[in-house]
């Protein structure tokens, strides 16, 4: 189902893609003259100039979608040498939507270029004639604005805008020690109806500037999978999803519990975790009424000794690497718990299960020398090796000594690792927070852990993803640590970049970050009070959220406001999950839809998410617009300029309606304000007192939405005809029953039975 917002009538690209999708491949037209080869697929025209292999994409009546690069569309060369451009191009084969070209470069080298024409776009592959290592680049002329690129769009480089403005990464990911871990080089240009991705888990490059739009591979034998996609955002993401699956980067079906309110031990207790402190902290949250659904004990549960850590849990004071290797077993001590801190692990885990809380622990693929199971891995050859056959010892951020890395390209090694994970699962552990960080990409490619996570997801294990390339073999996508000491604009820019990149199940780290428990953030308590509240309100509108250090430590009012944010997210838990299933099915980021994707032809939705305006807005599904007050000015700001696109929008708290398009200049958002508007279909499903409630806001006629239950399969269709809002009627069309409803918080509300369909008339 498309987002139910009006797009400009006669939109070129939607019409263009409709024709493109419905054309018969056998009707592809290819023509050429002395200088140019033109490929027509429906209404898409690809024009390739033989000299330079300069290509552009055009639509109806020759309207330009992406311009050709002024010099060359394809470059190739040996690493660290000047790249050569194409001198001649010859069309050598065409059949069933596949075209092959023989190209010769200015340095006399040659290659075969293949174009695979699909319903949704075109796939390029480049195969040099002589074996060796090459740098290969495909490029068009400049266009924009562009969005995407995962962690690279915001983390660590002081990015001031969500738009990929003069975005250069060459090489794309030279050193993972910067903790850029959710990796995607997918870029979308919503205005033009174009997207692209060079599927390459190894070294690559990206240059999106006012001179070129380029992606490439570095030190490769060939470039096998470079895609361009065309159409509306919904059509582009559906095609991107298909390509990810085809190229071995699947998107797995997420599970319900992760989308509720959670708790992470490190944010609450730092290293001071044991069976007493963890239980006491969880119980305090529950006593205050926090609706916890999941928890993570990320560190410190493995066998250790009391003198391993100083008072704030920093293991760096250990005398030597050998001492650490003997004592610190890290998270690969499968099934082995610290007997002093966790004397009865099964009982400990069951304690939280009885409270309805999912229990997970931290997990990494790094094995400490001398640790349990390490010798077995060495004997079986399950760890990464150098070209000379020696096991690699790499230094991640944690543990504090070099480790061996699981060879995830070896199926037997992966099966061994997953079998070891079962030792944790046998204690009742439900899943894992995957958490290797601080390593060099000269050792590990971007997809190094994906196959492990995918294997665990296949077993029904709950996975919080922290490392990932392009696909989504996890339930939720966690930011890298986001703390009080950092620039706060990074958070919303990072999250929206995830959504653009195809990682829509965003989890924006622990409310309060990871340093409040140890007081490592300094003594500014008054500022931290505002920080916690604004963070909680922002996180509540993300697909998943969690708490750490108890808000009650900052007073009753801070605790009350944080609790209200948690309850809001809990009410929306089923709505978030239903949209996560839609994202899983379609690839479109239904759980967090940046406005340029929901309204691509609305000029006003561009240039909002930056450190000047700070209008960080997104759609949640087809009915809610999130507009939290967040950013580096959180301590002093009291208002935002909020843009409402075309349609009727209702203030979630007050019920006041606005007719878009409209900018609410200086809209007040005090600490007790819910920063939400209802629009679109006006249909929101919430959970209240353990019952699902359909909430229909009287703002839209002749529309419908689809809702998926906790199993991700059971479907309900809720349809609004042309109702008389003064004489409201709801019918369960599955059994013919007329439903009882009430007016609650500006909406008509009635109970939902999963699997039943409803008509409002």
- Kind plus residue range of the DSSP H or E element containing 269: helix 265-269
- 518 lies in the same domain as 574: yes
Strand locations in 364-452, DSSP E?
Answer: 366-367, 393-394, 403-405, 431-434
The C-alpha R_g of the chain, in whole angstroms, comes to 27
End-to-end CA distance of the chain: 21
- Kind plus residue range of the DSSP H or E element containing 251: none
Say which residue the tokens 């909680």 belong to.
536
* Residue 316 pLDDT: 40
362 in helix, strand or coil? strand
Distance separating alpha carbons of residues 541 and 544, to the nearest angstrom: 8
Three-state secondary structure string covering 599-661: CCCCHHHCCCCECCCCCCCEEECCCEEECCCCCCCCCCCCEEEEEEEEEEEEECCCCCEEEEE
pTM for the structure as a whole = 0.93
| Structural domains counted in the chain | 4
Report CA 82 to chain centroid distance, whole Å.
36
425: domain CATH number is 3.20.20.80
* Residue 443 pLDDT: 82
With respect to residue 85, please indicate whether it lies within any of the assigned structural domains. Answer: yes
Beta-sheet pairing, 715-720 with 758-760: parallel
- 261 lies in the same domain as 349: yes
Distance separating alpha carbons of residues 194 and 233, to the nearest angstrom: 8
- Kind plus residue range of the DSSP H or E element containing 135: strand 134-140
Domain of residue 618: give its range. Answer: 597-678
Distance separating alpha carbons of residues 571 and 527, to the nearest angstrom: 29
Q: How many CA atoms lie within 13 A of 297 on its CB side?
A: 28
Residue after which a domain boundary falls, among 531, 551, 585: 585
Beta carbons within 8 Å of 713's beta carbon, 6+ residues apart: none
Question: Helix and strand tally (H, E) in the chain?
Answer: 13, 47
With respect to residue 281, please indicate whether it lies within any of the assigned structural domains. Answer: yes
Three-state secondary structure string covering 575-586: HHHHHHHHHHHH
Distance separating alpha carbons of residues 760 and 746, to the nearest angstrom: 16
- Kind plus residue range of the DSSP H or E element containing 352: helix 345-353
- 285 lies in the same domain as 263: yes
Nearest-CA neighbor of 190 among 237, 152, 241? 237
Nearest-CA neighbor of 17 among 227, 230, 189, 236? 230
* Residue 724 pLDDT: 87
- 371 close to 303: Cβ distance less than 8 angstroms: no
- 455 lies in the same domain as 566: yes
Nearest-CA neighbor of 39 among 105, 101, 128? 101
Q: What is the mean pLDDT of each run of 10 residues along the chain (761 residues)?
A: 36 37 54 93 86 93 93 94 95 93 96 90 96 97 96 75 92 73 96 96 96 97 97 96 96 98 95 94 98 94 60 36 46 91 96 98 93 93 93 87 93 98 98 90 88 98 97 96 92 96 98 86 87 98 98 97 98 98 98 98 96 96 98 96 98 98 98 97 96 97 97 98 90 97 95 97 90
With respect to residue 202, please indicate whether it lies within any of the assigned structural domains. Answer: yes
- 685 close to 752: Cβ distance less than 8 angstroms: yes
Torsion angle in degrees (nearest 10) through CA of 551, 556, 562, 563: 110
Say which residue the tokens 């001492």 belong to.
323
For residue 495, give both structure tokens. Answer: 């999250």
Residue after which a domain boundary falls, among 585, 615, 648: 585
Per-residue pLDDT reduced to its tens digit, 326-370: 455 578 999 999 999 999 999 999 999 999 999 999 999 999 988
For residue 61, give both structure tokens. Answer: 């009546």
Beta carbons within 8 Å of 185's beta carbon, 6+ residues apart: 148, 149, 152, 172, 197, 198, 200, 204, 206, 215, 470
Residue after which a domain boundary falls, among 537, 562, 585: 585
- 123 lies in the same domain as 223: yes
Distance separating alpha carbons of residues 699 and 679, to the nearest angstrom: 7
Report CA 412 to chain centroid distance, whole Å.
29
With respect to residue 331, please indicate whether it lies within any of the assigned structural domains. Answer: yes
- 258 close to 712: Cβ distance less than 8 angstroms: no
617: domain CATH number is 2.60.40.1180
- 572 lies in the same domain as 614: no
- 607 lies in the same domain as 754: no
Nearest-CA neighbor of 435 among 265, 305, 590, 622? 265
In terms of residues, how long is the chain?
761
Say which residue the tokens 């617009």 belong to.
625
DSSP 8-state assignment for residue 199: -
Beta carbons within 8 Å of 579's beta carbon, 6+ residues apart: 543, 590, 591, 620, 621
Sign of CA dihedral 593, 598, 603, 605: negative
Distance separating alpha carbons of residues 330 and 454, to the nearest angstrom: 22
With respect to residue 163, please indicate whether it lies within any of the assigned structural domains. Answer: no
With respect to residue 133, please indicate whether it lies within any of the assigned structural domains. Answer: yes
Give the distance between the most distant pair of CA atoms in the chain. 80
- 732 close to 719: Cβ distance less than 8 angstroms: no
* Residue 16 pLDDT: 37
With respect to residue 542, please indicate whether it lies within any of the assigned structural domains. Answer: yes
- 666 lies in the same domain as 706: no
Distance separating alpha carbons of residues 396 and 391, to the nearest angstrom: 15
With respect to residue 44, please indicate whether it lies within any of the assigned structural domains. Answer: yes
- 72 lies in the same domain as 209: yes
């Amino acid at each position: 189902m498309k987002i139910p917002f009006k797009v400009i009538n006669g939109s070129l690209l939607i019409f263009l893609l409709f024709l493109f999708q419905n054309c018969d491949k056998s009707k592809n037209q290819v023509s050429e003259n002395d200088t140019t080869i033109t490929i027509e697929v429906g209404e898409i025209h690809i024009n390739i100039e033989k000299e330079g292999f300069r290509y552009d994409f055009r639509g109806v009546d020759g309207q330009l979608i992406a311009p050709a690069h002024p010099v060359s569309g394809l470059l190739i060369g040996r690493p660290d040498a000047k790249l050569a451009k194409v001198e001649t191009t010859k069309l050598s084969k065409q059949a069933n939507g596949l075209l092959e070209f023989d190209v010769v470069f200015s340095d006399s080298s040659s290659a075969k270029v293949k174009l695979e024409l699909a319903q949704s776009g075109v796939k390029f592959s480049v195969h040099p004639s002589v074996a060796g290592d090459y740098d290969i680049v495909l490029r068009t002329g400049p266009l924009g604005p562009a969005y995407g690129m995962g962690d690279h769009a915001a983390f660590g480089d002081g990015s001031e805008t969500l738009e990929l403005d003069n975005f250069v990464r060459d090489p794309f990911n030279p050193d993972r020690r910067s903790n850029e871990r959710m990796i995607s080089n997918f870029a979308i240009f919503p205005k033009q109806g174009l997207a692209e991705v060079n599927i390459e888990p190894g070294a690559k490059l990206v240059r999106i500037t006012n001179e070129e739009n380029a992606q490439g591979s570095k030190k490769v034998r060939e470039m096998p999978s470079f895609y361009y996609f065309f159409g509306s955002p919904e059509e582009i993401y559906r095609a991107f999803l298909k390509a990810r699956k085809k190229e071995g980067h699947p998107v797995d079906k997420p599970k319900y519990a992760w989308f509720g309110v959670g708790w992470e031990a490190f944010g609450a207790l730092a290293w001071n975790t044991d069976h007493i402190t963890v239980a006491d902290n969880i119980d305090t949250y529950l006593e205050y009424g926090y609706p916890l659904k999941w928890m993570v004990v990320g560190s410190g549960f493995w066998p250790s000794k009391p003198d391993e850590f100083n008072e704030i849990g920093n293991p760096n004071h250990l005398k030597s690497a050998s001492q650490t290797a003997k004592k610190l077993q890290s998270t690969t001590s499968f099934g082995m718990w610290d007997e002093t801190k966790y004397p009865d692990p099964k009982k400990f885990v069951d304690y939280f299960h009885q409270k309805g809380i999912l229990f997970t622990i931290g997990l990494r693929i790094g094995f400490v020398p001398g640790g349990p199971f390490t010798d077995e891995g060495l004997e079986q050859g399950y760890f990464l090796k150098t070209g000379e056959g020696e096991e690699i010892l790499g230094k991640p951020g944690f543990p504090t000594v070099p480790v061996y890395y699981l060879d995830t390209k070896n199926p037997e090694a992966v099966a061994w690792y997953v079998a070891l994970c079962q030792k944790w699962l046998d204690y009742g552990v439900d899943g894992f927070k995957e958490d290797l960080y601080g390593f060099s990409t000269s050792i590990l490619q971007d997809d190094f852990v994906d196959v492990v996570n995918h294997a665990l997801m296949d077993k029904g294990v709950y996975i919080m993803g922290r490392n990932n390339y392009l696909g989504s073999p996890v339930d939720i996508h966690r930011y890298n640590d986001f703390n009080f000491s950092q620039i706060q604009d990074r958070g919303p820019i990072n999250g929206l970049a995830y959504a653009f990149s195809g990682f829509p199940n965003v989890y924006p780290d622990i409310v309060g970050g990871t340093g409040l428990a140890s007081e490592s953030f300094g003594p500014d308590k008054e500022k931290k009070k505002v920080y916690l509240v604004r963070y909680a309100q922002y996180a509540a509108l993300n697909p998943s959220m969690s708490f750490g250090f108890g808000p009650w430590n900052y007073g009753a009012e801070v605790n009350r406001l944080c609790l209200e944010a948690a309850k809001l997210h809990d009410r929306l838990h089923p709505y978030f999950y239903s949209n996560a299933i839609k994202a899983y099915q379609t690839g479109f980021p239904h759980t967090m839809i940046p406005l340029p994707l929901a309204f691509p032809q609305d000029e006003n939705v561009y240039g909002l998410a930056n450190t000047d305006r700070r209008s960080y807005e997104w759609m949640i599904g087809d009915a809610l617009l999130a507009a939290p007050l967040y950013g580096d000015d959180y301590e002093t700001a009291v208002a935002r300029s909020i843009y409402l696109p075309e349609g009727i929008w209702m203030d979630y708290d007050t019920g006041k309606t606005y007719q878009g398009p409209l900018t609410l200049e200086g809209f007040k958002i005090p600490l007790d304000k819910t920063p939400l508007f209802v629009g679109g279909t006006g249909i929101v499903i919430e959970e209240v007192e353990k019952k699902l409630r359909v909430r229909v806001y009287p703002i839209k006629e002749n529309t419908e939405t689809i809702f998926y239950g906790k199993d991700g399969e059971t479907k309900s269709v809720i349809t609004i005809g042309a109702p008389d809002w003064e004489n409201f009627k709801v019918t369960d069309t599955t059994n013919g029953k007329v439903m009882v409803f009430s007016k609650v918080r500006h909406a008509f509300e009635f109970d939902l039975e999963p699997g039943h369909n409803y008509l409002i008339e």
